């Protein structure tokens, strides 16, 4: 048991909890706050959404032991909230609920949407709601209800609920993982200045990552290390090898402005922004710090990537090691969960490695990179799991 001190709906709570007990169970069983519902208990359905320090979060995958000092608001805590009151009226008027099981989570997310993005249109609302599932309504009434309240707030200043401005400066997509250092030979490439940035971009300052997802991948390229390093000095060639990625401005070798498109079923996100690059030719390695944002969902990503090249096969081949640490915040954050993120990263790395090998051989790159289709990758993952389960992997 571990002692914690948190605030729930304005009430100071001191308790001892099991490290394995998630927040939803703690609130429902210990505090009898049963307005928060539990569905999948995997952070996917959104029924258990609450506000943690003002931002929507899944309480089934949040743990009180990691939330010491946090301020939490449940659906009960919005009884007197004027925005929630308008949403309740709109949900009733537009028949936005049937069985009501998903409604508390929908209301929490809807409130965040209309505060952050007043006046947004139906398409943007559906995009924002992608992480909240309903088996009854078909979403039509829910979307109409949110749209009506968002329209009432047209002209209102957006309310920051997630720790940064709603429309932050354009940052780098850390999903554009292997963007290379400078366009110079390995012997002579200097490290990039800490403050390097793309012309016209907002100043970039690397910040510590808080509770990042960490992924390590390795793959082999059938070419000498010097050849691989030389290719890595050309951001345009490297980006062309990454599914769904492209440079949106020419790179000066010390910074990049890039975009990466990810498709997940009907949802398509385009993370774009800038990053700074530092090369260490003495150790055949480099570092990329970047931050990105999907302009449609306001989902933000911050990451640091380290890569290193090692000779293998008596110098005839090269092993590329990539270490990534990233934080994804916003409506699409569920895409970064545990095993799914790691399987997707492994499959994306395999695609990148195949394209890199082709580029080294001088084969033509595709005219236009197709979006990274996470739906197809997920299907392949499921097939792989089934094959392993029944001994056919």
Convert the pLDDT of each residue in 351-361 to its tens digit: 777 888 888 87
Number of neighbours of residue 5 by Cβ within 10 angstroms: 12
Q: What is the pLDDT of residues 13-25, one digit of tens each?
A: 999 999 999 999 9
Placement of tokens 């009733």 in the chain: 92
- Please give the angle made by the CA atoms of 51, 54 and 56, to the nearest 5 degrees: 40
Model pLDDT, residue 182: 28
pLDDT score of 264 more than 80: no
Report all structural domains of the chain as residue ranges with CATH numbers, in order of start. 2-78 (3.10.20.30), 82-152 (1.10.150.120), 213-389 (3.30.530.20)
Banded pLDDT at 334 (limits 50, 70, 90): low
* pLDDT for residue 307: 84
Cα-Cα-Cα-Cα dihedral sign, residues 336, 306, 183, 255: positive
Taking residues 346-368, report their average pLDDT: 71
- Fill in the DSSP letter of residue 371: P
* pTM score over 0.75: no
User: 66: closest CA among 23, 29, 26?
Assistant: 23
Q: Which residue has the higher pLDDT, 279 or 295?
A: 279
- Mean predicted confidence (pLDDT) in 321-336: 71
Q: Is the pLDDT of residue 106 over 70?
A: yes
> How many Cα atoms within 13 Å fall on the side-chain side of residue 381?
16
pLDDT at res. 225: 92
Question: Which H or E run contains 113?
Answer: helix 103-116
Burial 148-160 (b: 16+ CB within 10 A, else e): bbbeebeeeebbe
- By CB atoms closer than 10 A (0-12, 13-18, 19+), residue 213 is middle
Q: Which of 6-10, 43-47, 119-123, 300-304 has the lowest mean pLDDT?
A: 300-304
Maximum distance among all Cα pairs of the chain, rounded to whole angstroms: 72
Handedness of CA 346, 352, 356, 362 (dihedral sign): positive
Q: What pLDDT is attached to residue 267?
A: 62
pLDDT score for 165: 36
- Residue 135 contacts residue 97 (beta carbons within 8 Å): no
pLDDT band at 247 (very low <50, low <70, confident <90, very high): confident
pLDDT band at 350 (very low <50, low <70, confident <90, very high): confident
Helix (H, G, I), strand (E, B) or coil at 246: strand
391: confidence class by pLDDT, cuts 50, 70, 90: low
Q: Cα dist. 220→14, 239, 275, 304, 361 in Å?
A: 52, 18, 25, 22, 14
Do residues 123 and 166 make contact, with C-beta atoms less than 8 angstroms apart? no
69 compared with 386, residue with greater pLDDT:
69
Average pLDDT, the chain: 77
Higher pLDDT, residue 9 or 252:
9
């Amino acid at each position: 048991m571990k002692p914690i001190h948190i605030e729930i709906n304005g009430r100071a709570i001191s308790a001892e909890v099991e490290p394995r007990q998630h927040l939803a169970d703690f609130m429902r069983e210990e505090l009898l706050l049963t307005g928060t519902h539990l569905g999948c208990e995997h952070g996917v359905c959104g029924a258990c959404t609450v506000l943690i320090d003002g931002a929507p979060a899944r309480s089934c995958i949040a743990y009180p032991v990691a939330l010491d000092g946090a301020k939490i608001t449940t659906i009960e805590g919005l009884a007197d909230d004027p925005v929630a009151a308008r949403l309740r009226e709109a949900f009733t008027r537009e028949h936005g609920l049937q069985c009501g099981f998903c409604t508390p989570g929908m209301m929490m997310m809807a409130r965040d949407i209309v505060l952050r993005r007043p006046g947004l249109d139906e398409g943007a609302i559906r995009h924002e709601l992608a992480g909240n599932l309903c088996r009854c309504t078909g979403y039509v009434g829910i979307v109409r209800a949110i749209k009506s309240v968002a329209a009432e707030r047209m002209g209102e200043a957006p309310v920051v609920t997630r720790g940064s401005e709603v429309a932050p400066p354009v940052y780098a997509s850390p999903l554009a993982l292997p963007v290379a250092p400078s366009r110079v030979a390995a012997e002579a490439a200097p490290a990039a200045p800490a403050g390097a940035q793309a012309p016209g971009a907002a100043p970039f300052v690397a910040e510590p990552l808080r509770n990042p997802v960490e992924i390590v991948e390795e793959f082999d390229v059938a070419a000498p290390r010097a050849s691989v390093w030389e290719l890595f000095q050309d951001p345009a060639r490297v980006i062309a090898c990454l599914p769904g990625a492209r440079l949106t401005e020419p790179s000066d070798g010390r910074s990049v402005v890039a975009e990466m498109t990810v498709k997940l079923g009907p949802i398509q996100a385009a993370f774009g922004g800038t990053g700074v690059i530092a090369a260490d030719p003495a150790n055949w390695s480099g570092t990329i710090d970047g931050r990105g944002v999907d302009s449609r969902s306001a989902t933000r990503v911050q990451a640091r990537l380290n890569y290193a090249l090692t000779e293998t096969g008596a110098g005839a081949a090269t092993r590329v090691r990539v270490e990534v640490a990233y934080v994804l915040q916003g409506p699409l954050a569920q895409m970064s969960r545990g095993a799914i993120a790691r399987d997707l990263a492994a499959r994306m790395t395999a695609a990148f490695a195949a394209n890199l090998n082709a580029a080294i051989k001088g084969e033509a790159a595709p005219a236009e990179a197709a979006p990274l289709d996470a739906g197809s990758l997920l299907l392949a993952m499921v097939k792989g799991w089934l094959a392993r389960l029944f001994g056919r992997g």
